[in-house]
Amino acid sequence: MRLRMSLTQKCNLACVFCSKEGLGKREQTMDSEDYKFVIRSVRKYFDEIDFTGGEPTLSNYLVDLIKEAKDNNYFTWMDTNGIKLGKDIEYCKRLKEAGLDRITISVLATDQQIYNDLTGANGKLFYFNQQGLKNAVKLFGKNVDINTVFTKKNSQDMINILKLAEKLSVDLRVLELVGKYDKTNNLYVPISEFKQIMNLNGGTINKKTCDEEYFVNGIKIMIRLPAGLGEDTPEPDFVWLTPDGYIKNVRGEELYLLDEIKSRNKQELEKKINKFLNL
């Protein structure tokens, strides 16, 4: 099972569809030692840690926590908008040296105006996003994938995103827009249109990850299905930990763990996690 560990609520972009998964109820309260305690304490429940945010590269703890996770034999993963990786290749090297195994970079468009419209970016941020992808591929090779969200704004750019994935030999993950009942309503397009644009036929469902998988010119395209929410979709294989110490699942259930984390009470922490995971 995977732990999506949110390190900060901050982000340097403001995507119109942001799910704000790192957003907690309280101000950030976990420090580096708290996260390390969690990493050391929960290995028996999780074999992967996926560092997220907000934007995880804005956290000063990231490099140290990757090291801690590797020392405890986790597979380590990071979800990022790639901007810091594009600004600073030395930083990419530090992530690699710390033991980061895999990076997912969000690429919402190959066109600057579309990117800016979807993310609220300006100036050189689009360039840094593109450069971040290149820097990551230079250092991590095929252990990089592109994440994108299918919207009315970027639907016609999807072919170019696929070509970019082909050029760099990386996989492509595609999400249907969520939050379609609020301000993103006018951007929503059903994922079936993505399949039509890409002319996708004969995919398979990966029961482990809930992804629907296709192959185009050797590139794997994974359409992210709503884990555990649909009738036929499998139970999700991940939970979140927020910076204010809540463990959460895709059904919106949550449990507050901060007291046990702050008091370094591993026994009580395990009791609560057992209860949350129904073990």
Nearer to ligand SF4, 16 or 65 (CB): 16
Nearer to ligand SF4, 8 or 135 (CB): 8
Quickly list DSSP for 240-277. Answer: EE-TTSEEE-TTS-EEE-HHHHHTT-HHHHHHHHHHHT
Tracing tokens 């600073």 back to the chain, one arrives at 88
Q: How far is the CB of 129 from ligand SF4 (least distance, A)?
A: 9
Tokens (6 digits) for 88: 């600073």
The residues that touch ligand SF4, with contacts defined as CB under 6 A, are 11, 13-15, 18, 53-55, 81, 106, 119
Separation of alpha carbons 216 and 199, rounded Å: 9
Nearer to ligand SF4, 106 or 148 (CB): 106
Q: How far is the CB of 33 from ligand SF4 (least distance, A)?
A: 25
Nearer to ligand SF4, 41 or 54 (CB): 54
Q: How far is the CB of 24 from ligand SF4 (least distance, A)?
A: 14
Separation of alpha carbons 114 and 131, rounded Å: 17
Q: How far is the CB of 78 from ligand SF4 (least distance, A)?
A: 12
Element (H, E) at 195: helix 191-198
Tokens (6 digits) for 32: 């580096």
Nearer to ligand SF4, 178 or 277 (CB): 178
Tokens (6 digits) for 212: 């629907």
Q: How far is the CB of 275 from ligand SF4 (least distance, A)?
A: 29
